[in-house]
Amino acid sequence: MTPDVSVIIPTRNALVWLPTAIASIGPDPRVEILVIDDGSTDGSADWLAQQAAADSRLRVLPGGGDGPSVARNLAIPQARGQWCAFLDADDCWAPGKLDVQLALHRACPELGFSFTDYRHVTVFGEDRGPCFAYWSRFAARHGGKSAPFILDRALSTLFAENVVGTSTVLARTDLLRHIGGFSTWVASAEDWQLWLAMAILAPVGVVPTVLTDYLMQRPGAMTRRVADRVLALQTIGIRYRDLAEAEDPSAGRIFDARLAGAKAELAELTGNRLRATWLRLGALVRAPCRRAAYDLAGTLRRTA
């Protein structure tokens, strides 16, 4: 039977989380599960081989250790489903997630992709709240909605605030292939760039329900990650700013506030708290909101 959905899971040394991620998909016979083992050394290969022998839906693909976006790109050409769903190895879905999104896509077949709300969870299991409420502009415009909807001014909305969580996305396989999958010309935010590229070509659906748990604060080199994010914001901003502002002139101002916030985070990590303070103030002036005020207060407190 040809699957409806290809669930794509890149993994590298995530065996402590991977079983939960795969189990959260459920026994749905409409899916195939493509796991790209991107050079794991934690026993993932043996465990995946056992799972594939027991579950005919599961296929294991070798990765080259080049990161999750390159790994996802290896799976997209091999996907047999009409749609691709992305799930990171350390995230998990709520029951019924795919059902809700498939119903939306079948009702609106013109959609390029859809995404759901998700919650941030720490490695200690602490719930840090839902994503949609975190982005003030998105929350102000769409916070009162409870039913799935088509996002108006999708490009400018997603350019202003990166509200899409990769593990929440269900996307048309043909459109992913047409675009070429995730970009390789930015060191961070490859997923955000893909959502922008897709939003130019097709409508975007939103499910305003928390249907995914996103693991935050996984160990890593924080300064490098933030530096990569600043560079990615600048690079992607140059490419998409004019198109986004043509749709909604305020999108550029909100984007500038995000960029200033990322630069402030990097300045703090490198010990330049005075610069961080000025950048936080600039972000607050460009896009006044509770979050920007909270970030500025935190920087001032650490500088004192």
- pLDDT tens digit at each of 304 positions of the chain: 799 999 999 999 999 999 999 999 999 999 999 999 999 999 999 999 999 999 999 999 999 888 899 999 999 999 999 999 999 999 999 999 999 999 999 999 999 999 999 999 888 788 888 999 989 899 999 988 999 999 999 999 999 999 999 999 999 999 999 999 999 888 788 999 999 999 999 999 999 999 999 998 655 555 668 888 899 999 999 999 999 999 999 999 999 999 998 998 899 888 898 898 888 888 888 888 877 787 878 888 887 6
| CA 138 – CA 80 distance, rounded (Å) | 34
Do 213 and 122 touch, CB atoms closer than 8 A? no
The domain made up of 5-215 has a fold known as Spore Coat Polysaccharide Biosynthesis Protein SpsA; Chain A (3.90.550)
Q: How far apart are CA 196 and CA 180, in angstroms?
A: 13
Helix (H, G, I), strand (E, B) or coil at 304: coil
CA–CA separation, 48 and 189 (whole Å): 28
**CATH class of the domain whose range is 222-303:** mainly alpha
Q: Are 172 and 83 in contact (CB under 8 A)?
A: yes
Boundaries of CATH 1.25.40 in the chain? Answer: 222-303
User: Cα–Cα distance between 97 and 117 in angstroms, integer?
Assistant: 11
Closest CA to 70 of 141, 12, 119: 12
Write the CB contacts of 79 (distance below 8 Å, at least 6 apart in sequence).
6, 8, 32, 34, 173
Q: DSSP strand E in the chain: where?
A: 5-11, 31-37, 58-62, 83-86, 92-93, 113-121, 127-130, 149-150, 170-172, 204-215
CA distance 155 to 136: 17
CA dist., res. 64 & res. 54, Å (int): 25
Within the chain, which residue ranges are assigned CATH 3.90.550.10? 5-215
